[in-house]
Amino acid sequence: MTLQAPDPIPSDAPLDQQPLAPERKGLLYSVNGVFVAQVAIYGLAFCLRVLLARGLGDDGLGTYSLFFVAALVAGAIANLGVGLGNIYFLNKGDYSYNQLLSGSIFVLCASSLAAWAFLITYAIILEPDLFVSGRSYWLYTVALPSVVGYVLLTSFLHGRSRFAALSGVAVAQGLFGVAIVGILYVLGQLDVFSALAGWVASFLLADVVALSLVGLNRINLEHSLHPRWEVLRNQIRYGAQGQVANLAQLFNYRLDQFLVAAFVSRAGVGHYTVAVGLSESVWWLSSSVALVLMPRLTEMDRDKAAQMTPLACRNTVLASVIGAIALIAVSPLAIDVLFGDEFSAAQTPLILLMPGIIAACATRVLGSYLFSQGRIIYNTYATFIALGLTIVLDLALIPSIEVNGAAIASSIAYIASLAATLYWYRRVSGGSITGALIVRPADAEHYLRAWKSLTGRRRG
């Protein structure tokens, strides 16, 4: 299912003089649909976090989070950026679906073999202890291939704008995870190993769902073992530019958890995990907008993409600010009631994270535009600027003010990333910074037209 690119209204045109094009309705419908799915996905992640906090305590949740982040980082390295390359080339039409799929399966197999060799060698030379030990350590052997498979398979759904299918896979993963952990919690069998095994199992099951949607019958074993090397090189060449940025961004988001573990305690990691998890709920809308825009902007011509981006960005920022204020207002009660008194220390870092979280919402939307224009390297530059700040500020602040220092460092780094992204956005698009961030009076008419379109569809 390929959706047609929208015909955007120029961001500086009075909306009362412009009709709401059918393609625009399609974009709004896609964003709304993905947003509902994002609410479900993050809602399930929130429920899982509550169960883990209740069942494992702050120290156990900290250990779980360190394994989780380590697996995500390793998976981000192992997929070599091929997932991003798939999204780009599926929309540009340079290579066939089957050629890209064969290269992806080859990378999945090769990265799995490399991961197993590393884990066995590490255990022999040192010991099976990397944030978790004993039998929990060996869960990495399944976690890494399942994460890489998830990234590569869902990139085909994303690249073909199959947002319902893409959301369905993510929701399935969340449901599987909550169901497994929930059953273990009710039975009184929830510990760190079983929680991690449940997380790994949820990704394996989601991979099966994704593979059925991508098309098991489209996998050619011979071509997967011997892919077209020119195509695979280009998948990696383009995708790696963005994947380096994704990896650096992942470090921006999660490196502080490792440093909190080193300088504070695993209980401190648990407190910070709750603060980060709650604050990231503000990303629901920006994630939806960025997810929908990435393939659509890539399909558009340059002028239309430049018109669409500031409209989407400034209104996403407004909604994110409103969401952040509401979250801060309810967080003291929500943390104590849902997670328990031992997590009350998460309230202050949650507030300190908010300026950076809002900045990151704008960065996500503008980053989709730079991706669509073949300037993905600028996202990488901005992310590394932020990563450098994260490392310096974390090392300066965490030893002295602990978890609050991690939150302050993250906020400053996210704001720096936005500043750099805005600079390159202006260079590439020629648009104004205020146009990308500040809501205009004419946008109110856009909301009214969107509401009329939505209610009209429901009546029809």
Between 357 and 93, residue with greater pLDDT: 357
What is the Cα–Cα distance from 92 to 354, expressed in whole angstroms?
Answer: 37
Give the per-residue pLDDT at 4.
29
Give the per-residue pLDDT at 444.
72
Do residues 170 and 41 touch, judged by C-beta distance below 8 A?
yes
Tokens of residue 175, six digits: 């449901």
What is the Cα–Cα distance from 23 to 32, expressed in whole angstroms?
Answer: 14
Examine the pLDDT at 295 and tell me if it is beyond 60.
yes
Q: What is the DSSP letter of 95?
A: S
Question: What is the pTM for the complete model shown?
Answer: 0.74
Give the per-residue pLDDT at 340.
87
Give the per-residue pLDDT at 400.
95
Give the per-residue pLDDT at 450.
57
Using 50, 70 and 90 to split pLDDT, how confident is the model at 283? confident
| Least confident among 70-74, 184-188, 293-297, 448-452 | 448-452
CA neighbor of 251 nearest in space, from 123, 390, 375, 128: 390
DSSP lists the bridge partners of residue 129 as 133
What is the Cα–Cα distance from 401 to 237, expressed in whole angstroms?
Answer: 41
Examine the pLDDT at 113 and tell me if it is beyond 70.
yes
What is the Cα–Cα distance from 324 to 327, expressed in whole angstroms?
Answer: 5
What is the Cα–Cα distance from 61 to 66, expressed in whole angstroms?
Answer: 9
Using 50, 70 and 90 to split pLDDT, how confident is the model at 352? very high
Model confidence pLDDT, tens digit, residues 163-172: 889 989 999 9
Examine the pLDDT at 442 and tell me if it is beyond 90.
no
Give the per-residue pLDDT at 32.
64
* Mean pLDDT in residue range 397-404: 95
Examine the pLDDT at 363 and tell me if it is beyond 60.
yes
Give the per-residue pLDDT at 164.
85
Give the per-residue pLDDT at 139.
97
Between 96 and 10, residue with greater pLDDT: 96
The distance of Cα 457 from the centroid of its chain, to the nearest Å, equals 31
Give the per-residue pLDDT at 31.
62
Using 50, 70 and 90 to split pLDDT, how confident is the model at 240? confident
* Mean pLDDT in residue range 187-201: 96
State residue 7 phi and psi, 5-degree precision: -105, 95
Q: Where are the alpha helices (DSSP H) in 187-301?
A: 192-214, 221-225, 229-263, 266-279, 284-299
**Any residues with CB less than 8 A from the CB of 309 and at least 6 apart, and which?**
293, 297, 365, 366, 368, 369, 425, 429, 431, 436
| Least confident among 158-172, 241-255, 292-306 | 241-255
CA neighbor of 315 nearest in space, from 441, 219, 195, 418: 441
Q: Would you call 123 exposed, middle or buried from its count of C-beta atoms within 10 A (0-12, 13-18, 19+)?
A: middle
Model confidence pLDDT, tens digit, residues 312-337: 899 899 999 999 999 999 999 989 99
Q: Map residue 130 onto helix, strand or coil.
A: strand
DSSP lists the bridge partners of residue 133 as 129
Examine the pLDDT at 189 and tell me if it is beyond 90.
yes
